[in-house]
Structure 1
Amino acid sequence: MRKRMVIGTAVAVTIVCVVFAGAFAFQRKLIYLPESGPLPGAADVLPGGREVTLATSDGLRLASWYFPVASAKAAVLVAPGNAGNRSYRAPLARALTARGLSVLLLDYRGYGGNPGEPSEDGLALDVRAAQEFLVREAGAPLVYFGESLGSAVVTELATERPPSALVLRSPFVDLASVGQRHYPFLPVRWLLRDEFPTRDHVARVKAPVTVVYGSADSIVPAEQSRDVALAAGAETVEVRGADHNDPAFSDGPELIDAIANGSGAPAQ
């Protein structure tokens, strides 16, 4: 009997160790969900759109799209969430350029056919390459806009290179807080290699901050976005009944108004 108990305990411990090891080894496959595949040309998405290449400090060349607007009041650096590619943000670019704003749709390393593998450190280099491009090309104040994971990316950037305004859509407190909600059976905070501490970073940002979130978000709980806003002393825009990936967060009026208001562009 005792021998069976020892064997059973050993098997259970082995299974737990295998689960934890797998979660550690493959975690980035769960966090980052890039899509490659054929993409339209930037000019097909919006007349005047440009295919641009961003050079990172670690030697990567990242394909992205730039939509310049003559005499733009501001240029918007769009840092996307963890899934898809830049084609998913085409409606956002159309809506923002219609408001007189230039737009850069960044695709991170590993996304949209770009080389490299995504990581917290890698995305920090990618967004810096995007910011440097806009400083050279835009000739206008910069607004950083981040979606979900991208909120963490641009917030960290803003601590070192302040924008005219920072707009965060569905930001989380940190990656572990989201992960623990979805994987409550794992010690997520111990296992994670990437932290993305949005709340800690946003408290150090000097620029005006706006937080946009959905009241029915099933991926990033609304209370986490509100915690980020509180840490920043930010203006908040709650989109009633909206879930994380609803059309309201593609080109909905509340989102577009929040970005345009942050840029100083006239309201519509």
Structure 2
Amino acid sequence: MDRRGQVAQLEIRKVLTLGLRAALLLAVAYAGLCLLLYFTQRSYIYFPPPTTATDLATALMLDADGVDIHVSVHARQADDAVLYFGGNAEDVDASLPELAAAFPGRALYLMHYRGYGASGGKPSERALVADAQMLFDHMRSNHRRITVVGRSLGSGIAIQIAAKHPVERLVLVTPYSSVLEIAARQFPYVPVNWLLSDKYESWRHAVKVNAPTTLIAAEHDEVIPRASTDQLLAHFKPGLAALKVVRGTGHNTIGIDGQYVAMLREN
């Protein structure tokens, strides 16, 4: 091989070496991104609001294996009750006026997730569903009929309770088919299915629900795509669930519209 050929061969080797190094760096960066998302994933799901003053004299405190679970309670002595699970950044006490207006004469139980309000611990799907189950069991011994309401993130907890128990009615506000699906849309180039621990796959539980169900969507929901809500609706038994839309509202403004309270109330 002449000198010109040797020089060309060396240049090719340099290019290949640089290409391999670049590919390796990209692979390491991608793996690092995946690891970062894995270890910080719950910070993208749960956003505890600032702690506000709590009247613990009227609250119910449950013991979940040494972890305090704070439940706000209104009209505890009523025969029938409503169990409410809020959004991922919601102070559920703020929803009390709407719930009281929608369900007059009923006891109201609003669960503060782990790390929210006066509840201890850290939130995860498994822990929150277990806490919800414990609260439901407590309520069932004191109330004849229980309506379960879940908003946004809480819809994924409410549907799991309704799938296991004979509740009077299920109401899902701005619900999704699964958090996994929402996360996959936000991170399309990441293997979310492998990384995500709290998938909240509501569609898996919908078919097991036997209670009359109302899904309430915001017309201009900027967080939960309508397609996700429609997909969830399709998994209920035929004729069991109905979708209602609050016109002119978004994901976080749906509760301030007068239509919202009326839809909560309607069977």
TM-score (structure 1 length as normaliser): 0.86
Is the 8 Å Cα contact of residues 51 and 117 (structure 2) preserved in structure 1? Answer: yes
Residue of structure 2 aligned with 1:220, choices 197, 212, 224: 224
CA separation in 1, counterparts of 2:261 and 2:107? 13
Per-residue deviation, residues 149-192 of structure 1 (Å, max 9, x unmatched): 11110111112112000000111111111112222232222211
Per-residue deviation, residues 68-90 of structure 1 (Å, max 9, x unmatched): 16655x31100112113333323
Q: How much does 1:14 deviate?
A: 0.8
Equivalent residue for 1:265?
none
Is the 8 Å Cα contact of residues 96 and 102 (structure 1) preserved in structure 2? Answer: no
Find the residue that maps to 2:139 and give its secondary structure.
Answer: helix
CA separation in 2, counterparts of 1:254 and 1:204? 29
Residue of structure 2 aligned with 1:180, choices 177, 184, 187: 184
CA separation in 2, counterparts of 1:42 and 1:60? 16
Per-residue deviation, residues 102-157 of structure 1 (Å, max 9, x unmatched): 211111111113111111110111111221232233x3410000011111101111
Query: Percent of aligned pairs with the same residue?
Result: 25
**CA spacing shift, 1:107–1:86, aligned 2, 3 Å:** same
Is the 8 Å Cα contact of residues 113 and 119 (structure 2) preserved in structure 1? Answer: yes
Equivalent residue for 1:63?
70
Equivalent residue for 1:41?
55
CA separation in 2, counterparts of 1:42 and 1:116? 18
Larger Rg: 2
Superposition pairs for residues 9-48 of structure 1, below 5 Å?
9-41=23-55
Find the residue that maps to 1:184 and give its secondary structure.
Answer: coil
Residue of structure 2 aligned with 1:107, choices 107, 112, 131: 112
Higher mean alpha-carbon deviation, 101-110 vs 82-91, is at: 82-91
How many residues are paired up? Answer: 250
Find the residue that maps to 2:62 and give its secondary structure.
Answer: strand
Letter in 1 for 2:61: T
Which blocks of at least 5 consecutive residues in structure 2 are unaligned?
A: 1-14
Residue of structure 1 aligned with 2:82, choices 61, 76, 79: 76
Per-residue deviation, residues 213-252 of structure 1 (Å, max 9, x unmatched): 0121111111211221222241111112321111x325x3
Letter in 2 for 1:114: S
Letter in 2 for 1:21: L
Equivalent residue for 2:135?
130
Equivalent residue for 1:51?
59
Q: How much does 1:24 deviate?
A: 0.7
Higher mean alpha-carbon deviation, 223-232 vs 169-178, is at: 223-232
Find the residue that maps to 2:251 and give its secondary structure.
Answer: coil
Q: How much does 1:36 deviate?
A: 4.3
User: Structure with the greater relative contact order (CA < 8 A, sep ≥ 6): 1 or 2?
Assistant: 1
Equivalent residue for 1:88?
94
Higher mean alpha-carbon deviation, 158-167 vs 224-233, is at: 224-233
Is the 8 Å Cα contact of residues 108 and 114 (structure 1) preserved in structure 2? Answer: yes
Structure 1 segments of 4+ aligned residues over 6 angstroms from their partners: none
**CA spacing shift, 1:39–1:84, aligned 2, 3 Å:** farther
Does 2:199 align with 1:192? Answer: no
CA separation in 2, counterparts of 1:112 and 1:69? 20
Letter in 1 for 2:228: Q
